[in-house]
Structure 1
Amino acid sequence: MKFHWYLSRIMTLSALTISSTQAFSDQKTTLDFQAAQQTILQVVQQMPDETAKSSAGKGLPAIVPETKAAEAKKSISYHQRSNSYATNPDSDPPRYVRRLSDIGVEAFKDVTWLEIGLESRMRYEHRHNDIRRIEGGNDDPFFLRQRAWIGIKEILDPFRFAVEFQDSRIYNNRFVSTDQERNEYDLLNAYGELYFKKALGADDRGNDRPVRFRVGRMAYETTDRRFIARNEWRNTTNTFEGFRLNLGREANDWELDLFGMQPVRRLQTKFDEANDNLWFFGGIGTLRKWSDIATLQTYYMGQKQTGDPNGFTATNRLDREIHMPGFRVYGKASNILDFDVSYNHQLGFSGPNRVDAHGYTIEVGKTFDHAWKPRIALFYGYASGDKNPNDNVDNRFDRFFGFARPWSADHYVIYENLKAPKIRFEFSPTQKLGFEVGYGAYWLASSKDRMFDILDGNISNTIKDPGFNRDRTGQSGDFGGHAFEGRIRYQATSRISTTLGYTHFTAGEFVKNRIAATSCATLHKHPCTDQRSGNTDFLYFEVLISLL
């Protein structure tokens, strides 16, 4: 899908509409993002404290659950959040976006139809002997990510549109940057939509059941974020070009989400382009009728790829077709336990091979009745790996476009070829302060398949995969290693959130054996792996600022 024609018209309409509001009549016609940030920040600092407090909930993720008063206000909605770790999708539009009437400026109090947002994130990382690299030693990069949103709703109904800008950069990095870290001056969202507020009437609680048809560029996440996600931790963001049709909305007792999209190639210093060789499509049905106990999601997702002879990876050069039916159910068993369970099966073909793979997740947790809201959770995730590299069956589970970080904070494993038990404990002594600790272990579901993101084996358009992360004989074993993770979150103000995290990874037999087998002393050629234990340390500090 070619996007530029559509984008030019959205931007033109946006400019005409905004210029009609006198609020921006004295602004420059060209956008200086950093100058705009400073201007908005000055306005924010002048806002009354009460306004800042009232708008904090949408601007930044809450450290502790909502108060009973807030929950009661939303009781008309059928939607219930899952208590499982990191599985709740970001809102649409994202949390940092708000109506202009809500930012606390008297002149804008009646402008309810314009949505805006500005967000800045800075993160420092220290990695010691990172096994994602074939070279050991230290790496101390700084990541910067800036976002801006502008959207029009209601005033032009049924037509609505939105544009989201992002600039992602990396500094002080030892290794060459990839499209996971750098993506300068690009668009995450640039879409138009038709929104019919009461097209399907209302549900039993009186919530309007709308129909929404969206076309253009879209970055969003859904279900438990394991297959479609914005990848909030990563410095760059997944986005797509295509269409999305929604029958119903999050507040309703049922909802149907249909989509057909092409993933966007992230080009580090050029304008991103849709991947014309790959289509991603599917439908997601959500039933919330009994959401006080359980929410059920059933879905079908698929990918169809036409092989690109000039593709960067071997997978890019294959004709592939994958079909995945699946389901997820989550909820609470009274006040005893909460749960989140999913199962997915994948069928189709990848080049000459038949695809037959599956994956599932199970999490149960308990939140104790205490002022600090302590919660303990047990998790197990499984994703099949290729059992035999010499047969005509590919058993490697494909995560599609899902998140990676919650599987391992240091990004060594993802939702493929994996057996991962975890235990996690978290508590919040105050509304502003939260602590999390966890322990996880990682086995390969198949010792003959790869451990995804180790020894330069990551999928990017920058680094060639030397193949060091797989032992086709299976003789390197199947234990990847285990890790201790800790995180402290502190919300300094209603608009500033900070996070300090640390992970220590202890290598298992597979990692140790792959380092030994691909070491420079063994291969006597480049590329080769620095000989080391495989144990790693990962420390990071992050500041997230919502400027409105």
Structure 2
Amino acid sequence: MIKRKKLLLLLFLAAPTMLFSQTDTLVKKIVKEKDLRLSYYVEAESFGTKRETEPQNYVLNYSEINGDKSSKSNWLNLGLYSRMRSEWRHNDIRRTDTYSNDYLLLFKTRAYIGIINILDPFRGAIEFGDSRRNNGNYAPDNRDVNPTDIIQAYAEIYFDKILPKDALGNKRPTFLRYGRMAMEMVDRRLIATNQWRNTTNNFRGFRMQIGQDKNDWQMDFLLLNPILRDINDYDKPDTNQEFSAIIGHWRKWSNIITIEPYYLSLKQEAAIANGNKSRNIQSLGLRLYGWIKSTGFNYDVTGIHQFGTDNHKTQKAYAATAEIGYTFQKTKYKPRLSAFIGYASGDKNPNDNESNRFERFFGFARPWSADDYIIMENIIAPKIKLEFQSKIKNTLVKVDTGYNFYWLASKTDRFNNLLGGTANNRDLTGQSGSYLGHNFDCRIRFYPVKYLETNIGYSHFITEEFVQNQQMVLNGNYASDSDFVYLELTFNFLELIKKTK
């Protein structure tokens, strides 16, 4: 059986390559004969799926800071930023109270130092983080609080000449990295740093990458232990969990389609810290995205199958997301209108020997809901979004807004974030219904000055039968709606001193 699963995995990862070799001639007829691109990479354009750069965009090369583009200055990467977010949450359904008002001040600071080029093939980086919270009516948790700790600290062996360049002339670098690190993969729904949250997902272990975003193909390999965020002590790796991944990227025809097959594995040994639960969750996924020629339509589709075992139950879960959007490219504000549907399975029968609850691994929850209520498990979530940009006195302003609906995929499984979790978020009988609610959200982002990013947002959530019924069971009353308002300011210190010519 084990050999059979390994064979299926190899066939899954190899299938796109075998298929492409047979269809390359056909696709070349569709692609323009003379490709003037400098890179194969095409952004998906789907909402909330754009990965953070590596290093992240707050990091600048020293040559950018001092205005010297020579090779003498390009060996050092530096970054320093601080973010403050003020939040008001009214009737937050994640809390055990039905009615509540909570005012939070969240502070996040990051500092980064990276060495490149000068000692090749040896490179490395270290990133410090500090996350704190003021005010708040509820006990602090590691989503908001993680005082001074190391986010990243790794050494790297980097080669950019051992593999031939791609057809566009881009180098195909290879690196092997070990240490503590943070990264985002595929569409961020399963592996993400979670930049919106006040604290960061990170890992300890090995990462190998062949190729880069510019190339026609690229492979990523991960073998990691998740880092446990401790609000009272230094963070430590969870040695009871092992997370591994093989992720492929095929971009040769990226002006039509980008194809990303992947395999993810989470193995957990039973221990006191995890409630003596052993797990072995395997995932096979395939993402397809691109543009439909020059029509302005773009799409992003993913399907995921999970198997293995979850605490002695057979794991059999599924997830799928699909988004199609239209960008009005010839208009001044470049608006994009999109429709999205997301599905992640929930456990159908709590009394059988099968677990159907989708495992979201270490994903980014915010694309599912602006108020952080929804995560990628036991959910059906259709939504429509409108995005556009404008200029006000030479300042670029980006706006996005949308309307979202939410149902449980299984009425007998939990709504993870409701009423503090545990017994309050699940009705084993299914009599509480499946409709969670619907919400409107809006966000405005702009830079009043080059070193200060401003982010203002609002979300209004209207509760429906499942939320209302569960609140009634716990508190004897329910709130018909909730509100979330925030103002976020991000200050990049190095942009302030950056020299321009």
Aligned to 2:388: 427
- Going from structure 1 to structure 2, the CA distance change for 1:76 and 1:107 (only over 3 Å counts) comes to closer
- Tell me which of 323, 326, 334 is aligned to 1:363: 323
Offset at residue 212 of structure 1 (A): 0.5
Q: Is the 8 A contact 1:84 1:339 kept in 2?
A: yes
Q: Which residue is equivalent to 2:366?
A: 405
Distance 1:288 1:352 in 2: 40
AA aligned opposite 2:211 = G
d(CA) in 1 for partners of 2:241, 2:441 = 36
Match of 1:114 in 2: 76
Deviation at 1:310, TM superposition (A): 3.7
Tell whether 2:288 aligns with 1:329. Answer: yes
Give the match for residue 515 of structure 1.
471
Which residue does 1:436 correspond to in 2? 400
Residue 50 of structure 1 corresponds to: none
Q: Pick from 472, 493, 497 the counterpart of residue 547 of structure 1.
A: 493
For the pair 1:471 / 2:411, whether they are aligned, the reply is no
Question: What is residue 343 of structure 1 aligned with on the other side?
Answer: 303
**Equivalence map 1:27-176=2 (5 Å):** 75-104=37-66, 110-135=72-97, 136-176=99-139
From the superposition, tell whether residues 208 and 108 of structure 1 become closer, same or farther in structure 2 (CA, over 3 Å).
Answer: closer
Code of the aligned partner of 1:241: R
What is the identity, as a one-letter code, of the residue corresponding to 1:398? E
In 2, Cα distance between the equivalents of 1:107 and 1:379?
43
1:452 paired residue among 396, 413, 416: 416
> How many pairs were matched up?
454
Deviation at 1:158, TM superposition (A): 0.2
The alignment partner of 1:363 has SS state of strand
TM-score (norm 1): 0.81
Aligned counterpart in structure 2 of residue 384 of structure 1, from 345, 350, 369? 345
Moved over 2 A (4+): 104-110
2:484 pairs with one of 538, 541, 548: 538
Whole-Å separation in 1 of the counterparts to 2:155 and 2:311: 36
Gaps of 5+ in 1: 1-73, 458-464, 522-530
Contact 1:100–1:108, Cα closer than 8 Å, also in 2: no
Give the distance between the partners of 1:455 and 1:390, measured in 2 at CA.
23
Whole-angstrom distance in 2 between the partners of 1:425 and 1:240: 35
Q: Deviations over 1:252-284 (max 9, x none)?
A: 100010110000000013110000100000100
Distance in 2 of aligned mates of 1:515 and 1:335: 50
Q: What are the residue-to-residue correspondences of 1:272-311 with 2, within 5 Å?
A: 272-311=235-274
**Residue of structure 2 in register with 1:187 after alignment:** 150
Contact 1:160-1:193 within 8 A present in 2 as well:
yes
In structure 2, relative to structure 1, the CA distance for the partners of 1:304 and 1:245 (3 Å cut) is: same
Distance 1:546 1:75, change over 3 A: farther
1:197 aligns with 2:160: yes
> What is the deviation of 1:107?
12
Q: Is the contact between residue 246 and residue 257 of structure 1 (CA under 8 Å) also seen in structure 2? A: yes
**What is the Cα deviation at residue 98 of structure 1?**
1.1
Contact 1:134–1:456 (8 Å) recurs in 2: yes
1:233 correspondence with 2:196: yes
Distance 2:384 2:478 in 1: 28
Query: Following the alignment from structure 2 to structure 1, what is the Cα–Cα distance between the partners of residues 186 and 85?
Result: 27
Instruction: Give 3-state SS (helix, strand or coil) of 2:367's partner.
Output: helix
Deviation at 1:110, TM superposition (A): 3.5
**1:108 positional shift:** 9.8
Cα deviation, residue 137, structure 1: 1.5
**CA–CA separation in structure 2 for the residues paired with 1:488 and 1:75:** 32
Contact 1:118 1:148 in 2 (8 A): yes
The change in CA–CA distance for 1:108 and 1:166 in structure 2 (over 3 A counts) is farther
Distance between the aligned counterparts of 2:192 and 2:118, measured in 1? 30
- Alignment partners' CA distance in 2, 1:294 and 1:491: 33
- Identify the match of residue 207 of structure 1 among 164, 167, 170: 170
| 1:285 alignment partner, SS class | strand
Verify the 8 A CA contact 2:37 2:168 in the aligned structure 1: no
Q: Does the 8 A contact of 1:100 with 1:109 survive in 2? A: no
Letter in 2 for 1:417: N
SS in 2 for 1:429: strand
* Counterpart residue number, 1:261: 224
Q: SS at 2:461's partner residue? A: strand
Where does residue 219 of structure 1 map in the other structure?
182
Aligned partner (choices 302, 313, 320) of residue 279 of structure 2: 320
User: 2-side partners of 1:250 and 1:547: how far apart?
Assistant: 28
Kindly provide the amino acid, as one letter, of the partner of residue 338 in structure 1.
N
- Report the secondary structure of 1:102's partner residue: helix
The amino acid that maps onto 2:46 is S
Look up the SS of the partner of 1:214 in the other structure: strand
Aligned residue type for 1:86: G
Check conservation: 2:388, 2:399, Cα contact below 8 A. Answer: yes
**Distance (Å, rounded) in 1 between the aligned partners of 2:369 and 2:361:** 17
Local SS of the residue matching 2:308 = strand
CA distance in structure 1 between the partners assigned to 2:355 and 2:71 by the alignment: 58
TM-score, normalised with respect to structure 2: 0.89
C-alpha displacement of 1:534: 4.3
Tell me, what secondary structure is at the counterpart of 2:436?
A: strand
Q: Deviations over 1:404-450 (max 9, x none)?
A: 11101111111110100000011112251122110000000000001
Q: Which protein has the bigger strand share? A: 2
Q: CA deviation at 1:335?
A: 2.8
Distance in 1 of aligned mates of 2:282 and 2:387? 37
Distance 2:458 2:70 in 1: 43
Match of 2:452 in 1: 496
1: CA distance, partners of 2:53 / 2:478: 43
Q: Please tell me whether the aligned partners of residues 469 and 478 of structure 2 are also in contact (alpha carbons under 8 angstroms).
A: no
- CA 1:296–1:410 in 2, change beyond 3 Å: closer, same or farther? same
